[in-house]
DNA sequence: TCGCTCATGTAATGGGTTACATGATTCA
DNA sequence: TGAATCATGTAACCCATTACATGAGCGA
C-alpha cells in the first residue's frame, strides 16, 4: 500500500525519498504514514520494477539528493490501482480499546487515567487537523498551483480526520462519565462490614 | 499486541487456539483481529516464554485440542501491561482515503462508485455491531456468568464501533453529496443511512 | 554546544499474510 | 455431493520497525 502513496506523490512531481516522507507526514499522515527507511526501500523497489527512475541532483551547500520520477509504466500502474474498487474493510487496530476490553472491572481508577490521557492526545490530533494540515496543503499549493482541483479531495480526507477525532472525543467523554458514575455508586471496602 | 489479546482471553479461561480465534472474531474483531496461523504461532511463543502452558485434551468424536492456560508469570505480565499507560496514537490506516486523496479530480464517476461501495460495506459493519456482537457477548456470558461485570467494558467498545461506523457513513454521505454537486446535476441512486 | 534540518542508506528483527498439508463430522 | 465446522500446524514471503552508520550547515 505504501507503494501507492509513493506513486501518488510522485504523480504530482518528481521527489526525493526525504521529500516524500516530509509531504506524507503533512498530507496523508493521519490515515497513512511510514518511516524514512521504509520510503527508501519502497523507492528502490519501485525503480527495480521499472515504475520509477532516479538521478542524482548534486547539492551545492546541501547533501546530494536522489530524485525519483514516475515512468510511463508507473503512471499506468497507479491508474490501474485507482480504477480498482476497494471492497475490503481493513480493521482499524486500536490498542486502547484492547486495554479497555480486557481491563479488570474493579480497577476504575486505572481505566479513567488511561481514558483521560487519550482525551489529551485526541484533542491535540484534532488541533493538528485544524491548523497544521491546512498549512501544509497551502505550502504544497504555493509550489504547484495547478493542483488546486486536487485540494478539494484533500479537504475531504481532512474532514474525515476532524469528524473521526470529534467522535472519538465524544465517545471518550461518554465512557469517562459512565465509569465515574459506576465508581461513585460503589463504596470502597472500608465502608463495608 | 496480539500477545495481549491472547493473554486477555486466556485470563478469562483456558482455551485452544481455535477457541481464541473464534472469540476474538466475535469480541475484539472490530478493533483487532488475527489469522489462525498467527494465533497458533503466538501461543507457541507464549509457552516458550513461560507465560502459558498447554496440554492435549483428547476429543471423543472431534479432533484433539491443545488447551492453553495462563501461568502466574503470564498473569503478572498481563497486569503489568494493563497498568502501563498508552500514550501513543496509532494511525488508523485506510486505503480508501489514500485512493480519494490521490484521485484524479476529473474522475468524479469513479470516485462516486468507490464511495457508494463503502456505504454498503459500512452499513453491513454497523449491522454486525448491532446484531452479531451482542449475540456473541451473550453466548460468552452464558458460559461464564461471572464475567458479567466485564460485559460493561465490552459494551463500551461496542459503542465505539457503532459511533465510528455512523460517523463514517455520515462522512461518506457528505462526500458523495459534495462530489455530485460538483459533477453537475446528474441524478443518481439514493443512499440513505 | 546542543539540537534540528537536511540527506542517504544497510542490517537485523519482528509482525502478519498466504499457501500448503491433513482429516473427521455434520447438515442441507 | 458439497460446504461448513472443528482442529492442528509448517514454510515462505512480505511489510514494517529499530538500530546502526555518516556527515554538513544553521540557529538559539
Q: Rounded to the nearest 5 degrees, what angle is found at the Cα of A115, between the Cα atoms of A106 and B122?
A: 105
Nearest residue to A86 via CA among B139, B95, B46, B184: B95
Would you say residue B156 has pLDDT above 90? yes
In terms of pLDDT, which residue wins out, B60 or A82? A82
* Torsion angle, alpha carbons of A76, A79, A80, A84, to 10: 180
Strands (E), chain B: 15-16, 52-57, 65-70
Task: Please list the helix, strand and coil fractions of chain B in percent, rounded to the nearest 5, in that order.
Answer: 65, 5, 25
- Is residue B114 within 8 A of residue A86, CB to CB? The reply is yes
CB-proximal positions of chain D, under 7 Å: 6-11, 15-19, 23-26
Which residues are bridge partners to B52 per DSSP? Answer: B70
pLDDT at position B190, please?
52
In terms of pLDDT, which residue wins out, A191 or B111? B111
pLDDT digit string (tens) for A28-80? 999 999 999 999 999 999 999 999 999 999 877 788 999 999 999 999 999 99
Range B28-42 average pLDDT: 94
Nearest residue to A158 via CA among A11, A10, A31, A3: A31
Range B119-136 average pLDDT: 91
The C-alpha of A146 sits at a distance from chain B's nearest C-alpha, in angstroms, of 12
Q: Is B143 helix (H, G, I), strand (E, B) or coil?
A: helix
pLDDT at position A190, please?
46
Q: What percent of chain B has pLDDT over 90?
A: 79
The C-alpha of A62 sits at a distance from chain B's nearest C-alpha, in angstroms, of 30
In chain A, residues with a C-beta closer than 8 Å to the C-beta of B9 are 102
Task: Take residue A186 and report the three cell numbers written for it.
Answer: 460503589
In chain B, residues with a C-beta closer than 8 Å to the C-beta of A31 are 91-94, 97-98, 101
pLDDT at position B177, please?
97
Range A20-30 average pLDDT: 92
H helix or E strand, kind and range, residue A16: strand A15-16
- Is residue B167 within 8 A of residue A161, CB to CB? The reply is no
CA–CA separation, B138 and A48 (whole Å) = 53
CA–CA separation, A2 and A9 (whole Å) = 11
Mean pLDDT, all residues of chain A: 92
Range A96-125 average pLDDT: 95
Q: Environment class of residue A187 by beta-carbon count within 10 Å: exposed (0-12), middle (13-18) or buried (19+)? A: exposed
Q: Predicted confidence band at A191 (pLDDT cuts at 50, 70, 90)? A: very low
Which residues are bridge partners to A55 per DSSP? Answer: A67
In chain A, residues with a C-beta closer than 8 Å to the C-beta of B154 are 101
Which residue's CA lies closest to nucleotide C10 at its C1' atom? A37
Which residue's CA lies closest to nucleotide D11 at its C1' atom? B37
CA–CA separation, A49 and A43 (whole Å) = 10
Would you say residue B189 has pLDDT above 70? no
Q: Rounded to the nearest 5 degrees, what angle is found at the Cα of B63, between the Cα atoms of B59 and B64?
A: 60
CA–CA separation, B141 and B19 (whole Å) = 15
CA–CA separation, A159 and A137 (whole Å) = 13
Asked if B153's CB is within 8 angstroms of A163's CB, the reply is: no
The C-alpha of A149 sits at a distance from chain B's nearest C-alpha, in angstroms, of 6
pLDDT digit string (tens) for A133-163? 898 899 899 989 999 999 999 999 999 999 9
pLDDT at position B193, please?
47
Tell which A residues from 97 to 136 touch B, by Cβ distance under 8 Å: 97-107, 110-111, 113-114, 117-118, 121-122, 125
pLDDT digit string (tens) for B166-176? 999 999 999 99
Distance CA B88 to C1' D27 in A: 30
B14: left (phi over 0), alpha (psi -120 to 50) or beta: beta
Distance CA A178 to C1' D20 in A: 48
Would you say residue A9 has pLDDT above 60? yes
Amino acid at each position: 500500500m505504501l507503494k501507492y502513496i509513493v506513486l501518488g506523490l510522485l504523480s504530482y512531481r518528481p521527489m526525493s525519498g526525504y521529500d516524500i516522507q516530509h509531504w506524507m507526514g503533512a498530507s496523508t499522515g493521519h490515515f497513512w504514514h511510514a518511516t524514512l527507511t521504509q520510503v527508501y526501500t519502497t523507492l528502490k523497489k519501485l525503480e527495480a520494477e521499472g515504475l520509477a527512475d532516479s538521478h542524482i541532483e548534486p547539492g551545492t551547500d546541501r547533501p546530494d539528493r536522489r530524485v525519483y520520477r514516475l515512468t510511463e509504466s508507473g503512471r499506468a500502474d497507479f491508474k490501474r490501482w485507482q480504477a480498482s474498487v476497494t471492497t475490503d474493510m481493513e480493521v482499524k487496530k486500536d490498542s486502547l480499546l484492547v486495554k479497555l476490553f480486557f481491563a479488570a472491572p474493579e480497577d476504575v481508577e486505572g481505566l479513567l487515567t488511561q481514558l483521560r490521557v487519550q482525551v489529551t492526545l485526541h484533542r491535540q490530533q484534532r488541533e493538528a487537523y485544524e491548523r497544521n494540515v491546512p498549512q501544509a496543503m497551502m505550502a504544497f499549493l504555493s509550489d504547484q498551483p495547478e493542483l488546486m482541483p486536487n485540494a478539494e479531495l484533500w479537504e475531504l480526507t481532512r474532514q474525515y480526520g476532524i469528524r473521526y477525532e470529534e467522535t472519538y472525543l465524544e465517545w471518550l467523554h461518554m465512557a469517562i462519565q459512565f465509569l465515574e458514575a459506576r465508581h461513585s455508586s460503589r463504596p470502597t471496602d472500608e465502608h463495608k462490614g
